[in-house]
Amino acid sequence: MQIPFTVAPRPDTGVNNAKIGVWLFLASEVMLFGGLFSAYIFLRIGAPEWPGEIGGHMYERASDILNVPLATLNTLILIGSSVTMVMSWASLAMKRFDRYRLYMGATIALGFAFLIVKAFEYGEKFSHGYLPAENNFLAIYFVLTGLHGLHVIGGIIVNMYFMWPGARMWKTDPKRFTNRIEIAGLYWHFVDLVWIFLFPTIYLL
Amino acid sequence: MSEHSVEEIKKHVRVYMLVFGSLAVLTAVTVVVGYLELPFVPALIVALLIATVKAGLVAAYFMHLVSEEQVIRWLVWLSLALLLVMFLLFSVYYVDQIGFLIFGF
């Protein structure tokens, strides 16, 4: 059976089903991350000190315990990957498959770069014995950035599928393939959006 | 976003580059303001304002919301409204301390 409205817009919504589907998914993601952000606000308002005592030492600012330069670098990496993602879609819209490969490859590479930087950050914390169980600040830091990291991994897997096996569709159904890249892009930009709020609220405040 | 001519896409690409530049500059501003060590409330307001502008740029241009169909835009507003409700529900727990949190007494 053919899935209806994968390319043509559905008459009642005015958009194709894939796009409605991914936006509904993103709406549920807003609530997932929103719930955890609420938990963060909740913990923080209730805390007498924030980040508080970690490893027998009292910290007054998150930036004293977290690595702001590395997180800034990661912010720029993710913003850059959003640009290459949207450029990979624009390349397909201009029928330039060679450029698509280039930009999609860059998006995947930047996704991995983000994870590597994140791994360094986590490694630094772990080596000092700063684990989620240490205090509330570290718990919410690891939960929020960890869940975000899992989303980055998910995005990389999807993008790698469209870089290699999934790219065969360009020959059989280029319009649908271009749509798929736009849809994958919507998810990737959402992951960037979450980080845009995570970075200042967790690292800088 | 449905069908586009190559010319149209080229215009989009110029916008994407401008957005990229703005996001990079705003990230730098966020970090610099962070190092100023402002008191908590002004720091919070500045950080959230900049983050909202950045998020708005990504949503509007990279996620194509500026030219998207009404149904998608309503979906986004609805999810943001529900998010706000969730934040407010959590803050109800501290309603007896709101005077203290805002005014300090």
Q: Tell which residue, A149, A136, A137, has the closest CA to residue A202.
A: A137
Once rounded to an integer, what is the mean pLDDT over residues B49-71?
A: 96
Once rounded to an integer, what is the mean pLDDT over residues A95-99?
A: 97
Return the residue of A nearest to B40 by Cα.
Answer: A205
φ and ψ at residue A164, rounded to 5 degrees: -110, -90
In this structure, how many other beta carbons lie within 10 angstroms of the beta carbon of residue A150? 11
Q: Is B72 on the interface with A (CB under 8 A)?
A: yes
Using one digit for the tens of pLDDT, what is the confidence trace for A142-172? 999 999 999 999 999 999 999 999 999 999 9
Return the residue of B nearest to A75 by Cα.
Answer: B27
- Cβ pairs A/B, distance under 8 A: 134
* pLDDT at A62 exceeding the cut of 80: yes
What is the CATH code for A17-58+68-204? Answer: 1.20.120.80
Look-up: residue for tokens 């914390």?
A: A125
Asked if A200's CB is within 8 angstroms of B83's CB, the reply is: no
Lookup: tokens for A125:
């914390």
Question: Which residues from chain B sit within 8 angstroms of residue A38, using beta carbons?
Answer: 86-87, 89-90
pLDDT classification of B4: cutoffs 50, 70, 90: confident
- Give the pLDDT confidence score for residue B89 in this predicted structure: 85
- Find the CB nearest B27 among A79, A90, A95: A79
Lookup: tokens for A85:
């993602």
Using one digit for the tens of pLDDT, what is the confidence trace for A10-30? 999 999 999 999 999 999 999
Distance in Å, alpha carbon of B61 to nearest chain A alpha carbon: 9
Q: Is A23 on the interface with B (CB under 8 A)?
A: yes
Lookup: tokens for B47:
């950080």
Q: Is A187 on the interface with B (CB under 8 A)?
A: no
- Find the CB nearest B87 among A20, A38, A76: A38
Percent of chain A predicted with pLDDT > 70: 100
